[in-house]
Amino acid sequence: AGAFLSVRDLRVQFKTEDGIVKAVDRLSFDLERGRTLGIVGESGSGKSVTNLTILGLHNPQFATIDGEIVLDGQELITARERELEKLRGNKMAMIFQDPLTALSPYYTVGRQLSEPFMKHKGASKKEAKDRAIEMLTKVGIPQPKVRFDDYPHQFSGGMRQRAMIAMALMCDPDLLIADEPTTALDVTVQAQILDLLKDLQQEFGSAIIFITHDLGVISKMADDLLVMYAGRAVERGAMKEVLGAPRHPYTWGLLSSMPRLNSDIHQALTPIPGSPPSLLNPPSGCPFHPRCAFRSEVPGTLCTDTRPPLGAGRAAACHLTAEQKQTIFIDKIQPR
């Protein structure tokens, strides 16, 4: 049997006035229940688009989607809108950076938690209210019975984030997608929310996709990592391996902004020069070649002409040989 969530050769393209934006280009990954996959990359790398695609939130009028997304045996790309609506908020749920994209200002928090539960689970109003209060308690909202009747604007930013997490967990989703869920919060609240998410995953056993550009956050949350660049996966593996011994020049660059794991030494790498490529006209060959400092180590015109494949399992999409990656990483990248 396949993985709980299996994404194969996913391609997402948008028609715009300026041409076709290749937002996600042949992306594949697997995710099992109870695991957290961190997806990292700069903005425009395709991480949010990937997840909105899994959730089925793209307007088919503007987006062309190819490939396969299979969740627990069900194909999502070809699923009908009514089918997807049933899955969203029930089998899969999302947590955004800004809780106000999920919470309406016009209804009480309690009502917004209760209604999807009644709709998806056929629960009574009383059952839904009990469940909502239970979830508000779990996420640490004080006086949940009173707060049930509050409107979102009566909550602090951190409390709104918690309420959104409570809402996402109401129907006990198997897949939880968190897109920069703590970016807007101060460090203390951020740490609390991350702890909370971890505890809840232990309790509920959901699969989590955690999207962020913050490697410090991801190092606390993820089991596995997928590094995206220009709509493609460029490196994948267990989080500790990817952060401890990265194999792709882009990941080396990303890590320069982060102190080493389990170490006080701050890396003295310069940030990656240049900016992410246009997805209207992505570079030929390796999409990272215009910014790559290690291109000259690869013979001929491989980097500019041939797209490096991403193998299965622990892998990096780069033409450098395994020995080169090892040597360059140890000589030039790893701090002593």
Residues in contact with ligand SF4 by CB under 6 A are: 249, 286, 288-289, 292, 294-295, 298, 303, 308, 318-320
CB burial readout 58-82, b (16+ within 10 A) else e: beeeebebebebbbbeeebeebeee
Residue 8 φ then ψ, to 5°: -130, 125
Strand, helix or coil at 74? strand
- Tell me which of ligand SF4, Mg ion, none is bound by residue 48, counting a contact when its beta carbon lies within the kind-specific cut-off of 5 to 8 angstroms: Mg ion
Residue 183 or residue 324: which is nearer to Mg ion going by CB?
183
User: Residue with CB nearest Mg ion?
Assistant: 48
Q: Which residues contact 266 (CB under 8 A, 6 or more apart)?
A: 259, 260, 335
Long-range contacts: 264-268, Cβ < 8 Å, 24+?
A: 265/335, 265/336, 266/335, 267/333, 267/335, 268/335
- At its nearest, how many Å lie between Mg ion and the CB of residue 144? 31
Q: CA angle 180-186-187, nearest 5°?
A: 90
- Residue 39 tokens, joined: 């997806």
- Tell me which of Mg ion, ligand SF4, none is bound by residue 308, counting a contact when its beta carbon lies within the kind-specific cut-off of 5 to 8 angstroms: ligand SF4
- At its nearest, how many Å lie between ligand SF4 and the CB of residue 309? 10
Residue 180 or residue 224: which is nearer to Mg ion going by CB?
180
- At its nearest, how many Å lie between Mg ion and the CB of residue 277? 17
Q: Give the Cα separation of 127 and 82 in Å (integer).
A: 25
Q: 93 pairs with which residues across the strands?
A: 176
Residue 212 or residue 219: which is nearer to Mg ion going by CB?
212
Residue 4 or residue 29: which is nearer to Mg ion going by CB?
29
Residue 71 or residue 292: which is nearer to ligand SF4 going by CB?
292
- At its nearest, how many Å lie between ligand SF4 and the CB of residue 212? 22
- At its nearest, how many Å lie between Mg ion and the CB of residue 49? 8
- At its nearest, how many Å lie between ligand SF4 and the CB of residue 284? 11
Residue 120 or residue 325: which is nearer to ligand SF4 going by CB?
325
- Tell me which of ligand SF4, Mg ion, none is bound by residue 295, counting a contact when its beta carbon lies within the kind-specific cut-off of 5 to 8 angstroms: ligand SF4
> In sequence order, what DSSP letters do the residues of 110-167 get, joined into one string?
HHHHHHHHHHHH---HHHHHHHHHHHHHHTT-SSHHHHTT--GGGS-HHHHHHHHHHH
User: Which residues make up the interface to Mg ion (CB under 5 A)?
Assistant: 48
